[in-house]
Amino acid sequence: MPQKLSEDSLADIVAPDETIFIPGSAGAPLAFLADLLRKPERSRNAKLLTSFIPGINTIDIDQLDPSVSITGMFTQPAFTRAQRDGRFRALPVSYAGFVSHLRDNVDIGLTVVQLAAPDANGQCSLGPAVEFMPVALQKSRRVLGLINRRTPRIPGAVSVPYDKLDFVCEVDTPLPEYNVTGDDVTQAIARNIAQLIPDGAAFQIGLGKVPAALSTLLCDRKNLRLHSGMLSDGMIELAEAGALDPDFAPTTCVLVGTDKFYRWAADYKGLRILGCDFTHDPRTLLNLDGFIAVNSALEVDLFGQCNLEFVDGRAVSGAGGAPDFARCARLSRGGRSIVALNASYSKGSRILPCLTEKAITSLPRVDIDAIITEHGIAHLTGASVHERAQAIISVAAPEFREELQRAWSTIAARL
């Protein structure tokens, strides 16, 4: 049986120089992190490996021992200085790539996992956050289970046998809540996306204003099949409107939303919350006929290259699961890879002639079927390089189109 710990002794089990896997999203082990921050000496030479998500999870690395390193897929503004001095190690991989990294390249000393209380069979549900935990648990020498009263027991989520844990601690820490409010531009973008999602489509949406608005607009559809990296409150609307395929279990690796959503999910029959080794595996995704992926971007150029990670040369995020879903949707029979974004922002156009040295190509042009803004849909499938550029210019903010046209003329002259 596992050894029981108190909340003020959690960091004491950290061994010198070991790698510790700390999950993110709704599974972030806040009680463990709080004790580690109270005892920075316990993090000396520690290697924290995490799936923290910008806007949902963060940690003040400056409160830990200066020798600590944190490795993850997503950078964020709080990690800017730490990345420059090498304490934060940003891995340029997708979710599927991070699965491979955990499986093939990492020796994990301790995994910290947040769980629901054990059921009558001694199984502890991972609740709304499974992510990379199945792979991490297989690779870890020791496992600390935080039995959180706030973690809902979701029948379709992966579970962990209580007696397979090495340490346990009962905690009562809130799950991160995520809620967004849309605007007119968001609604216009969502309306354009909705035109491309027919009855019976399998589709992926992430978090944000546009996915929330899109869920509302799709309530009149029938037999939609949800397969996504993350699902949020919009799923409630789709389910209650009867828009979901009753013969297809909505599948994701993470739920992130309001407390209402977490409680609703615990009672929703058929929902599957599985590891990224399944949800983002190309063999899984390529079996989804008519698979439509909807991803966002910070910038798009006239070739169709998409930057999801950099703003003015600063790394603010990561590629996440977008490359996995975009590539497989592009190759799916009857599928489509969509990138949606605001046409402009306070500093100018989000559509550029070509991505600059201050940006990075997170999604290559070969993986994009359509670019969508509030001004329309740029259909790229089957279009030549020149036709693609004209289609993308047509959905740019009107005040920038003439400038983009001149820039493309210069680019085209040297192709």
Express each pLDDT in 202-236 by its tens digit.
999 888 899 999 999 999 999 999 999 999 999 99
State which amino acid sits at residue 168.
V
Calpha distance 146→31 (Å, rounded): 8
Percent above pLDDT 70 for the chain: 100
Domain residue limits, the chain? 3-171, 184-413
Give the span between the Cα atoms of 56 and 205, in whole angstroms: 17
Provide Rg for the chain, Cα atoms: 22
Identify the weakest region by mean pLDDT among 26-35, 293-302, 310-319, 334-343. 310-319
DSSP per-residue codes, 313-357: TEE----TTHHHHHHHHHHSTT-EEEEE--SEETTEESEESS--T
Q: Stretch 6-10: mean pLDDT, rounded?
A: 97
- At residue 406 the predicted structure's pLDDT band, cuts being 50, 70 and 90, is very high
pLDDT value of residue 1: 87
Distance set, CA 363 to CA 84, 215, 298, 367 (Å): 24, 24, 11, 7
Residue 182's pLDDT is 78
User: Hey, what CATH class is 184-413 in?
Assistant: alpha beta
Contact (Cβ atoms closer than 8 angstroms) between residue 230 and residue 202: no
Position 390, amino acid: Q
Give the pLDDT of residue 78: 81
Confidence of residue 131 (pLDDT cuts 50, 70, 90): very high
Q: To the nearest whole number, what is the mean pLDDT of the chain? A: 95
Q: What is the mean pLDDT of residues 369-390?
A: 98
Contact 168, 192 (CB under 8 A): no
What pLDDT was estimated at residue 84? 86
Under CATH, which number does the domain 3-171 receive? Answer: 3.40.1080.10
**Mean per-residue pLDDT, 292-307:** 97
Kindly report, residue by residue over 31-73, the tens digit of the pLDDT: 999 999 999 999 999 999 999 998 888 888 889 999 999 999 9
* β-pair partners for 101: none
Dihedrals phi, psi of 37, to nearest 5 degrees: -70, -30
Q: Is 110's pLDDT higher than 90?
A: yes
Name the band, by pLDDT with cuts 50, 70 and 90, for residue 137.
Answer: very high
In this chain, the answer to whether the domains covering 3-171 and 184-413 adopt an identical fold is yes
Report the predicted TM-score, pTM, of the whole model to 2 decimal places. Answer: 0.94
Mean pLDDT of 393-401: 98
As a whole number, mean pLDDT of residues 85-114 equals: 95
Q: Is the per-residue pLDDT at 154 higher than 90? A: yes
Q: Please say if the pLDDT value at position 179 is more than 90.
A: no
**pLDDT for the residue numbered 81:** 85
pLDDT on residue 323: 97
For residue 144, which amino acid is it? L
- Rounded to an integer, the average pLDDT of 93-111 is 96
320-342 pLDDT tens trace = 999 999 999 999 999 999 999 99
Looking at the chain, how many residues does it have? 415
Average pLDDT over residues 165-174: 97
Looking at residue 80, what is its pLDDT?
82
Does residue 257 have a pLDDT over 90? yes
Q: How far apart are CA 56 and CA 175, in angstroms?
A: 10
Q: Lowest-pLDDT range, 28-42, 72-86, 257-271, 337-351?
A: 72-86
Strand partners, 5: none
The DSSP symbol for 286 reads T
